[in-house]
């Protein structure tokens, strides 16, 4: 999203996300989801038997995960249909993935 969005425009955008989430909940399809905090995070890298922890996420990264929804869908195609009118498509991309059940 553009940094020069007015507070009123931001409230309208938030309203769109809330309405979309409510639609998913009312359909009994919302299994979870959260917005991730901006400017917080750590990056962990394995280094042999040890681990290195650095600040992240990085502003220069090409792709950023800002949040997620877990939707109960009857099929992969059904999940894509539910995501089709998510407000985020106005600002970026959505990745639809299956949860691997083990």
- What are the pLDDT digits (tens) for 4-32? 889 999 999 999 999 999 999 999 999 99
- What does the pLDDT read at residue 102? 86
- What does the pLDDT read at residue 62? 60
* Beta bridge partners of residue 67, listed in sequence order: 35
Q: Are 21 and 82 in contact (CB under 8 A)?
A: no
Q: Closest by alpha carbon to 67, among 41, 48, 101? A: 41
Distance of CA 82 to the CA centre of its chain: 14
pTM passes above 0.75: no
Share of the chain above pLDDT 90, in %: 49
Which residue blocks in the chain are alpha helix, DSSP H?
7-26, 76-83
Q: Which of the two residues, 77 and 65, has the higher pLDDT score?
A: 77
Share of the chain above pLDDT 70, in %: 89
- What does the pLDDT read at residue 72? 95
Take residue 46 and report the two structure tokens written for it: 């394995």
Q: Which of 17-21, 63-67, 92-96, 98-102 holds the top average pLDDT?
A: 17-21
Take residue 98 and report the two structure tokens written for it: 């299956």
Structural domains of the chain, with CATH: 7-90 (3.30.70.1060)
User: Count of H helices and E strands in the chain?
Assistant: 2, 4
């Amino acid at each position: 999203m553009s940094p020069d969005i007015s507070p009123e425009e931001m409230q309208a955008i938030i309203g769109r996300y809330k309405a979309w989430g409510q639609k998913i909940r009312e359909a009994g399809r919302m299994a979870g989801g959260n917005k991730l905090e901006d400017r917080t995070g750590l990056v962990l890298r394995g280094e042999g038997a040890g681990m290195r922890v650095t600040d992240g996420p990085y502003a220069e990264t090409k792709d950023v995960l800002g949040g997620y929804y877990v939707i109960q869908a009857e099929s992969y195609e059904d999940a894509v249909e539910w995501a089709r009118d998510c407000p985020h498509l106005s600002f970026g991309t959505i990745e639809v993935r299956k949860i691997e059940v083990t």
